[in-house]
Chain A
Amino acid sequence: MMTVLELRSVSKSYRSDFLFRRMPALTDVTFDVAAGETFAYLGHNGAGKTTTIKSLLGLIRVDAGNIRVFGHAPGTMAAKRRLGYLPENPYFYDHLTAREFLHLAARLNDMNRSDAKHRADQLLALVKMDHKANVRLRNFSKGMLQRVGLAQALIGDPELLVLDEPMGGLDPVGRYEVRRILEELKSRGKTLFMSSHILADVETLADRAAILNGGTLRRLVDLHELGHQERIMDLKFTQLSEAMVGELVRRGYPVERRAEAHHVLVEEHFAMAGLIDELVRSGSRLLRAAPHRVSLEEIFLREVERDVGQTPEDLLHRTVDELVGATSVKEESTP
């Protein structure tokens, strides 16, 4: 399959102060995006997502490494003709109307007047902003600007869409509509490269995700194989004594109480049989032992928090808490 985006050992740093010290924004980032793929680019604020996107567009120059967009250097006309870009929190010309702005975008994409007019109207309808076509952009809310931003990114019917937080500023209905448009684009074979904080949307849309932390690529996740990558077993017990719960927590097992049962999460090859045997002997009843499906959120949290000095046990507790949204027994039972 053709490679649309290619990043090889890309590094970028910014001058941080008057002493000319440089702060790394990207360090040795390497990945490819294939044609027709939906690729999510994840990371917390300041992780280097927008820096990567700007590098792809030729808006900044990288210090080291190589970037190719459809085989061309970023920022060249050949590359720009084949991509559409939606910036994060977009602001456009205040005094232009939505229709005028999209018309400008279409004309900049080499369309003639009549095609530009037709395409602008078509996209205003697609993003459900046709009723505001003649309203100046200064009167638009954040969500409305986001829709116009998506429309301008689509104006040239690009093969590659680079979307920086496409769901940002949208209400639930707006999010649903944008997701629907992106799904439609995906089904038409467009390549989508999107950064997002909304992991649920990413999980629904993306084929692969890259997790970035501190400017370093931590992990590439194949979202079709999610759940099979992390082997954690969820053991469901009843009649687990409080003393035993305390003992499990002391040993570092995440334990959670749901209704009348306790759930203990155990790494598959971590003496699971021995633990089950021990708990059954102590009077507990094992109701179920099932694989625990790991979400993208859990992987993301694990990767981005690796640097903040937490132990794997802390992380496991944390991710379980985040996932289930319940109070850990550990916290309740620890004096």
Chain B
Amino acid sequence: MKSILLATTTFREAVRDRVFGLVAAFGLLLVLSTVIISPLTVGARGKIVTDIGLASISLFSLLMVLFVGSGMVHKEIDRRTIMTILSKPISRLDYLLGKYLGLWATLFVMMAAMTLIFACACALTEAEWKPTYLVALGMALCEMTVVTAVVVFFSSFTTPVLTSLFTLATFIVGHAIGDLERFAMVTGSAGMERAADISRFVLPNLDLFNVRNAVVHDLPVHSEHVVWAVVYALLYSAVLLAISDLLFRRREFK
């Protein structure tokens, strides 16, 4: 319950700190892409708008999570706000969960707003709005749910700069796990196979959530895959938050 109170505060702070300026930037990018890039395409204007729209939603969501999430805990430690909050009858787990849920709520509202702009852009151009786009966007939300947990995990014990760098590295490697496995298979190297196994076990397999290409090119996205991706996102985030709590409980506020 107290984590919900802090989540509301985190959300309110983010909104009033004009984080939704990123949504405006997204809208601008989408408009510019239809105006500048579309004339260069031959008969595929709709696909370009769709591709750019879906990819940009993911990109801007990632930027928001990195920018807001990386400094979220550190700022409160730096300004000693955390000491006031933790002196109240609230556990450190509640504090961390509050931060996570607040950031997730901000992410959700921001993605919803960008989806609305994207739907408008589709209606105004030749792009066809398909309900399956919502599946792709839902999967992107699952992906960002994991990335938000990664940000909270790193921010529970390190600095904002390192949190951003580590999260970005996790994001990049998380998308390359499939490639790493294929590479290990092709080379037949035992070391590569082990590296791929460790990566798959420790790092989030973010490629699992990428169904944009399938959706844009009308390829089927199986419901089992979607359910597994949702379960994976929830489990991975829960485990990461539990580890974050263990680290955060030991943290001293000097």
Verify if A302 is at the interface (C-beta below 8 Å from B): no
Q: Which residue of A14, A57, A91, A100 is within 8 Å of B87 (Cβ)? A: A57
Bound form: Cα–Cα A92–B176 in Å? 41
**Chain B residues with CB under 8 A of A58:** 86
| Binary per-residue interface labels of chain A (81-112) against chain B in the complex, 1 for a CB within 8 Å, 0 otherwise | 10111011111111110001000110111100
B89→A91 contact, CB < 8 A: no
A104→B9 contact, CB < 8 A: yes
A80→B254 contact, CB < 8 A: no
The smallest C-beta distance from B100 to any residue of chain A, in angstroms, reads 17
Bound form: Cα–Cα A96–B17 in Å? 10
B5→A92 contact, CB < 8 A: no
Bound form: Cα–Cα A93–B85 in Å? 11
Bound form: Cα–Cα A96–B10 in Å? 10
Bound form: Cα–Cα A92–B79 in Å? 8
- With A57-B83, A149-B84 known as contacts, the answer to whether A14 contacts B90 (CB < 8 A) is no
A85→B84 contact, CB < 8 A: yes
**Chain A residues with CB under 8 A of B254:** 14, 54, 60
The smallest C-beta distance from B197 to any residue of chain A, in angstroms, reads 34
Verify if B91 is at the interface (C-beta below 8 Å from A): yes
**Chain B residues with CB under 8 A of A162:** 87
Q: Which residue of B12, B17, B84, B86 is within 8 Å of A152 (Cβ)? A: B84
Bound form: Cα–Cα A59–B248 in Å? 11
The smallest C-beta distance from A335 to any residue of chain B, in angstroms, reads 50
**Chain A residues with CB under 8 A of B86:** 57-59, 75
A81→B89 contact, CB < 8 A: yes
Within 8 A of A (CB), among B1-54: 2, 5, 9, 12-13, 16-17
Verify if B81 is at the interface (C-beta below 8 Å from A): yes
- With A59-B253, A77-B91, A108-B2 known as contacts, the answer to whether A87 contacts B80 (CB < 8 A) is yes
Bound form: Cα–Cα A161–B91 in Å? 20
Verify if B252 is at the interface (C-beta below 8 Å from A): yes
A59→B12 contact, CB < 8 A: no
Bound form: Cα–Cα A104–B88 in Å? 11
- In the assembled complex, 13 residue pairs joining A and B whose CB atoms fall closer than 8 Å, in A order, are A57-B86, A57-B87, A59-B253, A80-B88, A83-B87, A91-B79, A94-B17, A96-B13, A105-B84, A107-B5, A108-B5, A109-B88, A152-B84
Residues of A within 8 A of B (CB): 14, 54, 57-61, 75, 77, 80-81, 83-85, 87-96, 100, 104-105, 107-110, 136, 149, 152, 156, 162
